[in-house]
Amino acid sequence: MLNATWLETFTTLCDIGHFTRTAEQLAMTQPGVSQHLRKLEAQVGKPLITQVGKSFDLTAAGEAVLAVGLARREQERDLEARIQVDDPDKGEINIACSGSFAMWVYPHLLDRMHSAPDLVIRVTAMPHSSIVKGVLSGDIDLGVVAEHVDHPRLEATRIGSEELCLVAPAAFDEHNVDLKALNALGFVAHPDGYAYADDLFTPNFAEEYRGADRLKIRTFINQIGQIPIPVAQGLGYTILPQSGVDAFAAKQDLKIVQLPIPRRHDLWLVSMQGRAEFARVAAIGELIKRASLALGGV
pTM of the model: 0.67
What length does the chain have? 298
Q: How far apart are CA 99 and CA 5, in angstroms?
A: 49
Q: How far apart are CA 263 and CA 267, in angstroms?
A: 13
- Which residues contact residue 133 at a Cβ distance below 8 angstroms, ignoring those fewer than 6 apart? none
pLDDT at 298 over 80: no
Query: β-pairing, 238-241 with 187-189?
Result: unpaired
292 vs 81, more confident = 292
Judge contact between 285 and 233, C-beta under 8 A: no
pLDDT at 227 over 80: yes
pLDDT at 266 over 80: yes
Q: Tell me the fold of 163-264.
A: D-Maltodextrin-Binding Protein; domain 2 (3.40.190)
Residues 82-88 have a mean pLDDT of: 72
pLDDT at 218 over 90: yes
CATH number assigned to the domain covering 90-160+265-295: 3.40.190.10
Question: What beta strand segments (E) does the chain contain?
Answer: 49-52, 55-58, 90-97, 118-125, 142-145, 154-169, 187-189, 217-220, 238-241, 254-257, 264-272
Amino acid 97: pLDDT: 93
pLDDT at 99 over 90: no
pLDDT at 133 over 90: yes
Q: What is the pLDDT of residues 159-217, one digit of tens each?
A: 999 999 999 999 999 888 999 999 999 999 998 899 999 999 999 999 999 999 999 99
Amino acid 78: pLDDT: 77
Q: How far apart are CA 243 and CA 164, in angstroms?
A: 9
The dihedrals phi and psi of 21, each to the nearest 5 degrees, come to: -70, -30
Amino acid 123: pLDDT: 94
Judge contact between 131 and 265, C-beta under 8 A: no
> How sure is the predictor about 65, in pLDDT bands with cuts at 50, 70 and 90?
very high
Eight-state DSSP code of residue 260: S
Amino acid 82: pLDDT: 66
Domain boundaries, the chain: 4-84, 90-160+265-295, 163-264
pLDDT at 132 over 80: yes
Fold agreement (90-160+265-295, 163-264): yes
pLDDT at 83 over 70: no
Q: What is the pLDDT of residues 250-265, one digit of tens each?
A: 999 999 999 999 999 9
CATH architecture assigned to 4-84: Orthogonal Bundle (1.10)
pLDDT at 35 over 90: yes
pLDDT at 11 over 80: yes
The dihedrals phi and psi of 29, each to the nearest 5 degrees, come to: -95, 160
Residues 153-163 have a mean pLDDT of: 93
Residues 29-42 have a mean pLDDT of: 94
